[in-house]
Structure 1
Amino acid sequence: MTAPHSQNLHHEFRSSSAKPKAKHKKRIPPISVRFSADERAWLEDRASGQSLSGYIRDAVLDDDKSKRRKRKTTPIRDYQALARLLGMLGRSEIGSALCGILLAIELGRLELENEVEDELRQACGDIAYMRNELITALGLQSEGQ
């Protein structure tokens, strides 16, 4: 016999640990412009630290910056380390171990006190939170963004 609260716990874990669904937005093709070495040097000098494409965009579009997305100003020191952490989290046995525990609860093979069940629910939420924070830190999009 399956307890109703364990079904909810199982559903909550499944939905919070699911991989994000890719959103397919049609991208507008980029515009390519070639410059001579002298022209590029002049542009780089004028850009004074700004990316060349950002400088050229600002120069051409003037004050029409209302729809431009801003980059995050918080620096990330090591993208590869964050990517490795996200990969380790995905490959770890944590998710399957928690699913096994939830299955045992549903099948009535494991009975938990409410406090332990709440801690398990919190652990599922914590794992989903860590995953989402890593995805955000890497500049990726997770479900619902």
Structure 2
Amino acid sequence: MSTSDRENSKLGTSRRSKKLPPFSLRLTFEERARLEELAGSEPLGSYIKRRVFNGKGGGGKRARSRQRRPIKDEQKLAQVLAMLGQSRIANNLNQLAKAANLGTLPMMPDTERDIRRACADVALMRRELLRALGHRTDSEPS
């Protein structure tokens, strides 16, 4: 049995299966906070892998990492999330969709107006959420 076969058998893997089990690391709150500070906007896992494998003797290529996008407007984001938390939009839209699918939704002028208003509110929340996250919206010029 070769050395790699012995290592794989210890890990419960075969030669055919090259995927190793995940590795877990326990940190104190202070250690984690320090790592997150050092990582900045880079995801923590990517930062740790880069530091371990690109350090002295690591010799690996720098892995492409996704950068966390900074939140452009935290106050706007908080407002939108608060609006969503206070609303019963998801439940109400589900009830409307169910009634429409069953054919039991009477389509009166008031009902249509209320549905259009709800759609406009949802579209507004979407735009504000995208803006708060730093994305362009459909209605903004490129």
Q: TM-score range by the shorter chain?
A: 0.3 to 0.5
TM-score (norm. length: structure 2): 0.35
TM-score (norm. length: structure 1): 0.34
Q: Greater Rg, structure 1 or structure 2? A: 2
